[in-house]
């Protein structure tokens, strides 16, 4: 599973990083989220799926493999 954050949509709500802190990091500059790694480790998949649902801007997308 791969994860992507659309920086055009991201408004820095931070819910993704609170839901899956191992999987997302927030920029000190603009507060936008980025995946720590595009390829999601299997043990983080459940948290990342929850983070997708948590984002009010629907900025996070998954590619299932
Ligand atoms: Fe951005 Fe959504 Fe996370 S707006 S900071 S991707 S909760």
In 3D, which of 2, 6, 10 has the Cα closest to residue 31?
A: 10
Q: Mean per-residue pLDDT for 39-49?
A: 98
Distance in Å, CA 2 to ligand 1 centroid: 16
Distance in Å, CA 63 to ligand 1 centroid: 17
9-36 pLDDT tens trace: 999 999 999 999 999 999 999 999 999 9
Which residue(s) pair with 26 in the sheet? 33
Task: Work out which ligand 1 atom sits closest to the CA atom of 24.
Answer: 3
Question: How many structural domains are present in the chain?
Answer: 1
Helix (H) or strand (E) holding 54: helix 45-54
Is pLDDT at 64 greater than 90 in this prediction?
yes
- Residue 29: what pLDDT? 95
Q: Mean per-residue pLDDT for 55-60?
A: 98
Residues in the chain: 65
Distance in Å, CA 65 to ligand 1 centroid: 23
Does the interface ipTM go beyond 0.90?
yes
CATH of the domain at 44: 3.30.70.20
State the number of CA atoms in the 13 A half-sphere of 15 facing the CB.
Answer: 15
Q: Can you give the residue range of the structural domain that contains 53?
A: 2-63
pTM check: above 0.90? yes
């Amino acid at each position: 599973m791969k994860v992507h954050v659309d920086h055009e949509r991201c408004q820095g709500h931070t819910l993704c990083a609170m839901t899956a802190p191992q999987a997302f990091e927030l920029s000190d500059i603009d507060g936008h989220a980025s995946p720590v790694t595009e390829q999601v480790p299997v043990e983080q998949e459940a948290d990342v799926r929850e983070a997708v649902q948590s984002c009010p801007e629907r900025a996070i997308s998954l590619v299932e493999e």
